[in-house]
Structure 1
Amino acid sequence: MNHFTLATADSVATLTFDNPPINLMTAAAHLELADILDDIAADDNVHVLVLRSANPEWFIAHFDVAAILGMPTEAGDPPTELTRYHQMCEQLRIMPKATIAVIDGRVGGGGNEIAMSCDMRFASPAAVFNQPEVALGIIPGGSGTVRLPRLVGRARALETILGCEDIDTDTAERWGLINRVVPVDHLDDHVNRLAKRIAAFPPHAVAAAKASVTSAESAITEHLLAESHAFSRTLGEPRARAAMEGFLANGGQTPKGERRLGDLAGELSG
């Protein structure tokens, strides 16, 4: 099944995610996205990538919890290679072209990690952000513990990761999680104008400027490897499995449950 559609015009590639009903990031979808991003990174005809959703209610809900339950829990030596998910997120950060996320609706967990990996994020007032993993007995293992504190600072990152509460767009903008909030009827125009503007500049200068900024973000790979190890260890805890099964049993990954993700996460401890 194809979860993404790709359209390119004026050196801007627009990649649209569509996985009804809640735009869940499944194992198959993430592998598809990873392959597409590798192709875009190598395409000299693309200067800017815009990542968006076909569903105005969800950008990306989060990664499939049922799939997480089936992941290995081996907690031996720390890994020496990045997971494919980390490689995918890193491709958004390091590819020699600008990457922009357009967020209209909810984004959580692994979806928020994908958004944070982009160079820029613009959101409508309807957007809601959440990292629910700790309530499920695990940690944000798709780069959230590495990227979030770099964007919003340590204290706000811990409030988001440990509290598992919904973050509204005004707060997200004030904290620096997103570039800015744009009224929904102007969101596409704003992003398209910026993307076309960047795409029209000499691509070597765009790539060099991005590389220079990126080089200041030290030790990313080392920290991602540590995150992978910590994720596998938490996943092996009995309470993690019970919490994730409770999440699914109480409406997680259904539209009704996902619309109240922050509240649902809080109820798992009851």
Structure 2
Amino acid sequence: MSATTRHLTVAKETPALWRVTFNNPPINLIGPQMIRELRDLLTDLENDDLVAAVVFQSADPDYFLAHWDIASDPAEVGDLPTGPTGFHPWLDILIRLSRLPAVTISAIRGRARGAGSELALATDIRFASREKAVLGQFELGTGAVPGGGPSSRLSRLVGRGRALEILLSANDFDGELAERYGYVNRSVPDAEFEEFVDAFALRVSRFDVRAIEEIKQYVNAVTLPPDTEFPPQMDAFWRSVARPETQDRATQMFGLGLQQRGETELNLGAALERIIVPPAVGRRAEGNG
């Protein structure tokens, strides 16, 4: 049984195994409509006591989830009804996703940057195509602070130094390097990728849902960041994107082909180097000193 909305297809392969496929051409951007659909999906998952495993994948082999739709109107998301956590809708989705009783698996083939990386980090397990996966938090390259909590999640996954390298380089990490760093659980040769993910998800889905939930609760208690860590990061994101220098960098990137299917989005880490850097502004400009 499957259900298709504008940007998601949810296939219930068995009562215990669900498969969610992202499909938002041209490059699987995350925007207000996808937020609405993810909220509905999470509600369904929270209310279903039979589902044991959920696989998140993409219909586009080049893009798992490219990043946030920078051209979208922030008010479309900000005006949505408050979710169960009471936080910003994107944080609400990520926190609820990380705390689902079912096991969540990101099958990353293609690019997962920015908010796409944040969603993958909020799932329990990340498998990457060795040849085709690309992950990264590119926000600093445009002058922005990541808002969806990768500073908290990456630090716990890969350690302080590597988290800072990922966040401060704003660069791309291929599947092999992402595995070495702990950004993903493992990278799998692309020719074997689908078979591997399917076998893992099916195996887990056959186990007792009550025991799965209890194991997750114990692991969550010692690994998940406290929810209170996330709102300050979202506040920092909004402050940073409002700066004229960040707006200038974003405008330049759109001129280079940001959010279009092409070389800039395929190799975004390298494309950031083409930005003409605005004049330097000191840390005390906003009273941070």
- TM-score, structure 2 length as denominator? 0.86
Contact 1:146 1:220 in 2 (8 A): no
The 3-state SS of whatever aligns with 1:67 is coil
1:3 aligns with 2:7: yes
Identity %: 34
1:76-110 per-residue CA deviation (whole Å, 9 max, x = no partner) reads xxxx9421111111122101010000011111100
Aligned to 2:266: 259
1:121 aligns with 2:95: no
- Structure 1 unaligned segments of length 5 or more: list them: 74-79
Aligned to 1:133: 139
Question: Counterparts in 2 of 1:82-121, with a 5 A limit?
Answer: 82-121=87-126
For residue 9 of structure 2, what is the amino acid of its counterpart? T
1:156-177 per-residue CA deviation (whole Å, 9 max, x = no partner) reads 1111111111111111000101
Question: In the superposition, relative to structure 1, how do residues 116 and 269 fare at CA in structure 2: closer, same or farther (>3 Å)?
Answer: farther
1:33 aligns with 2:43: no
Contact 1:135 1:269 in 2 (8 A): no
Query: How far has the Cα of 1:70 moved from its partner?
Result: 6.9
Structure ranking higher on relative contact order (CA contacts 8 Å, 6+ apart)? 1
For residue 264 of structure 1, what is the amino acid of its counterpart? A
Question: In the superposition, relative to structure 1, how do residues 29 and 191 fare at CA in structure 2: closer, same or farther (>3 Å)?
Answer: same
- Structure 2 unaligned segments of length 5 or more: list them: 79-84, 278-289
Question: Counterparts in 2 of 1:140-179, with a 5 A limit?
Answer: 140-179=146-185
Question: In the superposition, relative to structure 1, how do residues 244 and 226 fare at CA in structure 2: closer, same or farther (>3 Å)?
Answer: same
The 3-state SS of whatever aligns with 1:65 is coil
1:12 aligns with 2:17: yes
The 2-side partners of 1:18 and 1:72 are apart by 19
Question: Aligned pair count?
Answer: 264
Give the counterpart of 1:193 among 189, 192, 199: 199
The 2-side partners of 1:185 and 1:55 are apart by 16
Query: How far has the Cα of 1:42 moved from its partner?
Result: 1.5
Query: How far has the Cα of 1:45 moved from its partner?
Result: 2.5
- TM-score, structure 1 length as denominator? 0.92
